[in-house]
């Protein structure tokens, strides 16, 4: 496999521009990078899609680090991005900011085009102009759409997205491949699988379930509970991203990894799944929440939602080959940690 070098030990302080640092994943990644001594330039729009206080509290934790600088702005604002890149000259970009949420994309599809497609294009323009050493961008397991071959492998065709959210993410993968080819821009797309954990988003299943159970409110269980998800614990996910920063996709002719590598024939471009590579039945997930809370949920069984897929399941052998690591936090342990955080955060 590729050797993973810790640049910090070489006394080189890497400068990383991270978008979405007040968001769930961006906050955890920035926190990890700062703990390791990286210089992190955070960028976030602090949009009111969900409780803005949660975003501000995450940000309050990050700004205590001397090597963190926070910049508020929208991805659509190219002038603002350009000024910041001029000022900071980052060597790496991790682009996590996006309009998230599969459900919301049914109500407000245009916001996904603005932030996910136009916003991502602007970030890619910066990567090109400032010749960063590696750009990593968040994609999603939703791009696998109606694929039924499981577990999902990066080299599988992914042309049947079922929501505009998934479609915008697939569009950014295609745009990124074109930029990688045209400008020799080393690019890694990371496809995330159902991420959960402390400081999570209130619109995510775990957060909603815990909140409803504690408030004696019913929880909606779609597809009559016949749902399977590859739940990935947040700490495992950000550690994977952190390690992938150093695994720069090579130009063709310098290939090292043979095993089912998604490395493009035409560009320094690679797609990598980050998941737990286990599919967990939603009902088992709910039961684990009930066990930790020592309280039963009021269950409201519903038909499957528009655009939803019954199951996701990742093949993470490429991730393992590249960084000699893969997520493996057990979902029961992850749920316990989330509930501890939740009770502390809401003073329960």
Q: Which pLDDT tens digit goes with each residue over 166-176?
A: 999 999 999 99
pLDDT at 291 over 50: yes
Q: What is the pLDDT of residue 257?
A: 56
Q: Predicted confidence band at 133 (pLDDT cuts at 50, 70, 90)?
A: very high
Q: What is the pLDDT of residue 125?
A: 98
Q: What is the pLDDT of residue 86?
A: 97
Q: What is the pLDDT of residue 106?
A: 83
Query: Rounded distance, CA 69 to CA 43, Å?
Result: 9
Averaged over 203-209, what is the pLDDT? 95
pLDDT at 4 over 80: no
Look at 38-47, 54-63, 150-159 and tell me which has the smallest mean pLDDT.
150-159
Measuring CA to CA, which residue among 175, 176, 146 is closest to residue 158? Answer: 146
Averaged over 241-265, what is the pLDDT? 82
Q: Predicted confidence band at 256 (pLDDT cuts at 50, 70, 90)?
A: low
**Please, what is the average pLDDT of the chain?**
92
Characterize the bridge pairing of strands 15-19 and 39-44.
parallel
Task: Catalogue the long-range contacts made by 320-323 (C-beta closer than 8 Å, 24 or more residues apart).
Answer: 321/1, 321/2, 321/257, 321/259, 321/261, 322/1, 322/2, 322/243, 322/244, 322/247, 322/257, 322/272, 323/1, 323/2, 323/4, 323/240, 323/243, 323/244, 323/247
Is residue 165 annotated as a catalytic residue, yes or no? yes
Q: What is the pLDDT of residue 231?
A: 94
Measuring CA to CA, which residue among 301, 306, 293 is closest to residue 336? Answer: 293
Marked catalytic residue, from 144, 165, 179, 196 = 165
pLDDT at 278 over 60: yes
Q: What is the pLDDT of residue 64?
A: 98
Query: Rounded distance, CA 73 to CA 81, Å?
Result: 8
Q: What is the pLDDT of residue 70?
A: 98
Q: Predicted confidence band at 258 (pLDDT cuts at 50, 70, 90)?
A: low
Query: Rounded distance, CA 169 to CA 52, Å?
Result: 24
Cα–Cα–Cα angle for 326, 120, 164, rounded to 5 degrees: 85
Q: What is the pLDDT of residue 323?
A: 96
Query: Rounded distance, CA 201 to CA 221, Å?
Result: 18
Q: What is the pLDDT of residue 108?
A: 87
Averaged over 70-75, what is the pLDDT? 97
Q: What is the pLDDT of residue 1?
A: 44
Q: What proportion of the chain, given as a percentage, has pLDDT over 90?
A: 82
**Each residue of 107-123: pLDDT tens digit?**
888 989 998 999 999 99
């Amino acid at each position: 496999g590729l050797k993973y070098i810790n640049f910090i030990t070489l006394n080189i302080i890497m400068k990383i521009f991270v978008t979405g640092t007040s968001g769930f994943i961006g906050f955890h990644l920035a926190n990890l990078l700062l703990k390791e001594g990286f210089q992190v330039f955070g960028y976030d729009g602090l949009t009111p899609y969900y409780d803005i206080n949660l975003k501000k509290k995450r940000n309050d934790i990050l700004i205590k680090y001397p090597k963190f600088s926070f910049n508020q702005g929208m991805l659509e604002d190219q002038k603002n991005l350009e000024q910041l890149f001029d000022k900071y000259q980052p060597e790496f970009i991790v682009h996590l900011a996006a309009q998230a949420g599969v459900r919301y994309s049914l109500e407000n599809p245009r916001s996904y085009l603005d932030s996910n497609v136009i916003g991502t294009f602007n970030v890619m323009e910066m990567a090109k102009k400032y010749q960063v050493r590696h750009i990593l961008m968040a994609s999603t397991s939703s791009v696998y759409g109606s694929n039924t071959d499981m577990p999902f492998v990066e080299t599988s065709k992914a042309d049947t997205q079922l929501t505009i959210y998934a479609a915008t993410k697939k569009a950014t993968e295609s745009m990124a491949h074109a930029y990688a080819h045209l400008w020799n821009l080393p690019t890694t797309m990371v496809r995330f699988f159902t991420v959960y954990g402390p400081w999570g988003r209130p619109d995510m299943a775990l957060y909603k379930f815990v909140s409803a159970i504690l408030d004696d409110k019913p929880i909606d269980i779609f597809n009559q509970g016949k749902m399977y998800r590859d739940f990935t614990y947040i700490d495992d996910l950000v550690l994977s991203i952190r390690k992938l920063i150093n695994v720069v996709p090579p130009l063709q002719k310098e290939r090292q990894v043979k095993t089912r590598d998604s490395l493009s024939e035409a560009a320094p471009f690679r797609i990598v799944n980050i998941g737990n590579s286990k599919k967990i039945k939603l009902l088992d997930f709910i039961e684990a929440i009930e066990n930790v809370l020592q309280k039963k949920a009021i269950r409201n069984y519903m038909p499957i939602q528009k655009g939803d897929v019954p199951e996701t399941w990742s093949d993470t052998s490429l991730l393992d080959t590249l960084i000699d690591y893969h997520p493996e936090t057990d979902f029961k342990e992850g749920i316990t940690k989330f509930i501890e955080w939740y009770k502390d955060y809401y003073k329960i």
